[in-house]
Amino acid sequence: MSQRVVITGLGIVSPMGDAVETVWQGMMTGKNGFNKTTIFDATTFPSKFCAEVKNYDFGKFVKNTELHKHGNRGTKFVLGATVQACKQAKIDVETDNPKDGIDRTRLGIYLGAGEGSIDTENFFEALIAGYDSETSKMDFAKWTEVASVKFSPQHELEQEPNMPISHIALLAGVRGPTRSCLTACAASTQAVGEAYKIIQRGDADVIIAGGAHSMIHPLGITGFNRLTALSTNNDNWQTASRPFSATRDGFVIGEGGAIVILETLESAKKRGVEILGEIIGFGSTNDAFRVTDMHEEARGAVNAIQAAIKDAKITKEQVQYINAHGTSTSENDSIETRAIKTVFGDYAKKLPVSSVKGMLGHLIGAAGCAELITCVMALRDNTLPPTMNYSEPDPELDLDYVPNKPRKVENLEIVLNESFGFGGQNNVLVVRKFKD
């Protein structure tokens, strides 16, 4: 018999704050985390704004900051989120003698992440030193003269996507199964889904799952600008992210870390921790189409939603709310709407759908888990978060997008969390309010 998998801890570090309740209450009042880019000088870039994490005090969460000082931005964000989630789930961290009742060989990690942030100043100093303007080629002997002195070996190691996992393992003494997935914007949803499956089949009792990412650097922003994925509405940047609106022109890139603690129902009861929700379904597919485009008929997204509903052993009419990927790009919002209408048919018109990226920004590898956390909070408060900046309906997009203000509902029980990423990745979770 497969295990029931429940959620016992939540943690987030985001552009809207570094506490779950702070972020949730901000969403209830329509706040956002958008700001002019300050991590580097973006004044000549097509997109001059983003959703940076501001005023983050790493030492507020982690006592032994020296042990993690070489971690990149994403790593430090997710460590803060991990400490929050572990505290709520009563998991001991930063100790050689944990007394939380968890066998460390059955405590795991599953994290969605990406490449580490670059050492911008030293990277470009070496690039300038090595570039030969007469030949328009790189002289790598000159590059090496600078790079071999300026580049930190620890920083270069931290470029590896598995490094955040290593830091979390040190923090919590994890000696069980550890996994990393690099499925772009769908990564942390996939991480939570795969962690759910690992626990369900009995290979772990507790898993720290989620995501970490920061791509707010010149190469990351340039790449997304070249893909025309980012909003360039520099005159109205506070309302630039407009999911499902006719005036949408791209997403606002963000950064952060988000973590949920998953464990067996038996473990949670034995340890006496509060149960915040239950994962009951997961679907994962690929479009097998273009690398940067979703399939026009939304075939991968449709299959992922259907697979998640089937895995949850529910009917489609039992789904009461969808937390959409909703990037505020023309393609994603149109095709995601098509997927929902294909799966749910006539019921789609009665089904509320919203995207919190209009407030939170797009946290890339951390996005899905951050949005899952909002699903758990929605179940707790029977309140749907809004799609902010919904200024002008798109005649082709005709669902209920919960525009511009939160909505109280009665008896919210089952919700869907959708994430779709570059490369055709589609991951969907079904979350239920816990009932014993």
Would strands 277-286 and 5-13 be described as parallel, antiparallel, or unpaired? Answer: antiparallel
Tens digit of each residue's pLDDT (9 = 90 or more) over 168-219: 999 999 999 999 999 999 999 999 999 999 999 999 999 999 999 999 999 8
Structure tokens at 47: 């997109």
Q: Which active-site residues does the annotation give?
A: 185, 325, 362
Q: What region, left, alpha or beta, does residue 268 occupy, with left being phi > 0 and alpha being psi -120 to 50 degrees?
A: alpha
- Alpha carbon distance 267, 420 (integer Å): 32
pTM of the model: 0.95
- Alpha carbon distance 381, 410 (integer Å): 10
- Alpha carbon distance 421, 167 (integer Å): 25
The pLDDT of residue 164 is 94
* Residue 121: CB atoms within 10 Å: 9
Report the topology of domain 281-432. Peroxisomal Thiolase; Chain A, domain 1 (3.40.47)
The pLDDT of residue 333 is 96
Using CA atoms, how far residue 185 sits from 61, 135, 191, 404, 416, in Å, is 26, 39, 11, 24, 17
Cβ-Cβ contacts under 8 Å for 274 (sequence gap 6 or more) = 8, 88
Radius of gyration of the chain (CA): 21
Structure tokens at 287: 């479009």
- Alpha carbon distance 360, 422 (integer Å): 20
Q: Enumerate residue ranges in the chain where pLDDT < 50.
A: none
What is the residue whose two structure tokens read 């709520």?
Answer: 88
Residue ranges covered by each domain of the chain: 5-118+155-271, 120-154, 281-432
The pLDDT of residue 179 is 96
Phi first, then psi: what are they for 72, rounded to 5°?
Answer: -80, 180
The pLDDT of residue 258 is 98
Report the candidate in 322, 323, 287, 325 with the shortest Cα–Cα distance to residue 303. Answer: 287
Q: What region, left, alpha or beta, does residue 328 occupy, with left being phi > 0 and alpha being psi -120 to 50 degrees?
A: left
The pLDDT of residue 1 is 58
The pLDDT of residue 224 is 93
- Alpha carbon distance 116, 155 (integer Å): 9
Structure tokens at 66: 């020296």
What would the 3-class secondary structure string for the chain be? CCCCEEEEEEEEEECCECCHHHHHHHHHCCCCCCEECCCCCCCCCCCCEEECCCCCCHHHCCCCHHHHCCCCHHHHHHHHHHHHHHHHCCCCCCCCCCCCCCCHHHEEEEEECCCCCCCHHHHHHHHHHHEECCCCEECHHHHHHHHHHHCCHHHHHCCCCCHHHHHHHHHHCCCCCEEEECCHHHHHHHHHHHHHHHHHCCCCCEEEEEEEEECCCHHHHHHHHHCCCECCCHHHHHHCCCCCECCCCCECEEEEEEEEEEEEHHHHHHHCCCCCEEEEEEEEEECCCCCCCCCCCCHHHHHHHHHHHHHHCCCHHHCCEEECCCCCCHHHHHHHHHHHHHHHHHHHHHCEEECCHHHHCECHHHHHHHHHHHHHHHHHHCEECCECCCCCECCCCCCECCECCCEECCCCCEEEEEEEECCCEEEEEEEECCCC
Tens digit of each residue's pLDDT (9 = 90 or more) over 310-323: 999 999 999 999 99
Domain 5-118+155-271 and domain 281-432, same fold? Reply is yes
CATH, range 5-118+155-271: 3.40.47.10
- Alpha carbon distance 159, 136 (integer Å): 28
